[in-house]
Amino acid sequence: MTQFRFVRLPVTLAVLAACATAHADYTSPDGQFRLSGFGTLGVSRSSTNDALFNYPGQGGGADKKASLNPDSKIALQGSYKFTPTLSATTQLMMKYDADGEYVPNPEWVFAKWQPTSALSVRGGRMGAPFFMVSDFRDVGYANTTVRPNLDVYGQVPVSYFDGADAAYQLDVGSVTLTSTLWAGNAKSDFSSALRRSGAAVPPTEVRIDHAVGLNVLAEFSSGYALRVGHMQGKLTTKSALAQQLVNGVSPALAAGGATAIAAQQVIDAVTTDDTKATFSGIGFTVDRDNVVAAAEFTKRKVNKGYIADTTGWYVLGGYRFGSVLPYVSFSKLKVDDPNAAMPAGASGFGAAVVGGVQGILNTQKVSQRTTSVGVRWDVLRNVALKAQYDRVSKPANSNGLFLVADPATASAQSFLANKKDINVFTVSMDFVF
């Protein structure tokens, strides 16, 4: 089946952004149908050519040559109310994906039943609720910064799940409590390299099956909000390199003895298959008078395999001066446990196996910290202009969240081995229509 690919998305975005200044969302005369959309036209540039800055998992990004790809996107959303209690929503989005393309993708396709004002039940495809701003993390206009903080939001590569959720809302004095129980499966492609020794590398498939989660949000009338969430599921990754390594050493399993043990160790080091994984987070936001603040603290844990345990956090603060909002944020992503290491017996299978195993292990060396300074200007009621500077510092023996195009090159190995401070500059225009 041939997919329709848009290679001129930035041009399309520019035209729609211009139209957005004159056209708002549409609601049918009977109020049953609503059509709306949003988009971002963003340009990023970094201070290095050794690695690419992007949203983790994308098949490309920005280096010293400016790029539209990390942040540019556009989406159209429609909803129809069949009865006072039954409705359906669909959201179609184009953003830069793991294959380095803009392909229309259904992010949301769900039906909603709301028998009372307090209870709602949804089924279908919905935004994956891992974070404080999960439902609108792609809506640049709804966020203070150019993009959600990557040191936190870059830990989970999936943006939607297929399943169901049930939410119950309760007012307790001046506080509104919303509890959401959700369950389902999620899948996404993730690009951790574009080439290896010059040969093209396809994206890795990431799956979270049998996921179950609970989120509790407390919204205070004074402008504060607090959210806690936890989920668990079965994590599986499938990559061409890992499968090649498994196929290469599997015949040794029949040999028995130390050779078989070494082969199994290699397989275990590069395989994450139906492994228990959890993700927990707590977040806090303030939007009161002219003060804007936010913070999140998250932990990812994986029982076994090569996907690392991580901790991510950020704090953000800003102050509105009319339509202008300057802000600053600090964040950190730390690897708590790599969960896998080079097997002692891997060298017995040759340099190619050792290099392949090390390449997979290196994808989880993501520790970094970021200082960001930016400004948002609400130039129109549905258009915001932003400029942001990020100072990303990664320690030695880490790639941070940067995409190393070909890990086998000398420049890539130097980037991994040495401490680096990388500057990233972004300007963007967010709009809703």
pLDDT in tens, 231-282: 999 999 999 999 999 999 999 999 889 999 999 999 999 999 999 999 999 9
Look at residue 87 in the predicted model and tell me its pLDDT.
98
Comparing CA positions, the residue from 191, 229, 211, 337 lying closest to residue 274 is 211
Distance CA 13, CA 102 (A): 12
pLDDT at 1: 36
Mean pLDDT to the nearest integer, 34-40 = 97
Please check the confidence at residue 25 and state whether its pLDDT lies above 90.
no
Are 182 and 165 in contact, with CB atoms under 8 Å apart?
yes
* Cβ pair 300, 310 in contact under 8 A: yes
Over residues 277-294, the pLDDT tens digits come to: 999 999 999 999 999 999
pLDDT-based confidence at 46, cuts 50/70/90?
A: very high
* pLDDT band per the 50, 70, 90 thresholds, residue 135: confident
Arithmetic mean of pLDDT over the chain: 94
What number is the average pLDDT over the span 361-376?
Answer: 98
Residue 22 has pLDDT above 70, yes or no: no
What average pLDDT score do residues 334-338 get?
98
Name the DSSP class of 17: H
Q: Give tens-digit pLDDT for 372-413.
A: 999 999 999 999 999 999 999 999 999 999 999 999 999 999
The number of angstroms, rounded, from the C-alpha of 269 to the middle of its chain's C-alpha atoms is 25
Which residues, at least 6 apart from 270, have a Cβ–Cβ distance to it below 8 Å? 241, 242, 245, 246, 306, 340, 356, 357, 360
In this prediction, residues 105-132 reach a mean pLDDT of 97
Q: What one-character-per-residue DSSP string does 53-116 give?
A: B-STB-S--BSSS-BSTTT-EEEEEEEEESSSSEEEEEEEEEEB-TTS-B--EEEEEEEEE-SS
Residues in the chain: 433
Model pLDDT, residue 10: 56
DSSP conformational letter for 403: B
Between CA 426 and CA 386 the distance in angstroms is 8
Taking residues 323-334, what's their average pLDDT?
98
Please list, in sequence order, all residues whose beta carbon lies within 8 angstroms of the beta carbon of residue 7, skipping any fewer than 6 positions away: 101, 102
CB 382 within 8 A of CB 431: yes
Give SS3 for 225: strand
Query: What are the E-state strand segments in 128-174?
Result: 160-172
Point out the least confidently predicted range of 38-42, 251-255, 330-334, 417-421: 251-255
Average pLDDT over residues 59-69: 97
Main-chain phi, psi angles of 346, to 5 degrees: -65, -30
In the prediction, which pLDDT does 9 show? Answer: 58
Question: Cβ distance 353 to 249 under 8 Å?
Answer: yes
Q: What percent of the chain has pLDDT over 90?
A: 92
The predicted model scores a pTM of 0.93
CB 368 within 8 A of CB 400: yes
Angle at 98 between CA 315 and CA 106, to 5 degrees: 85
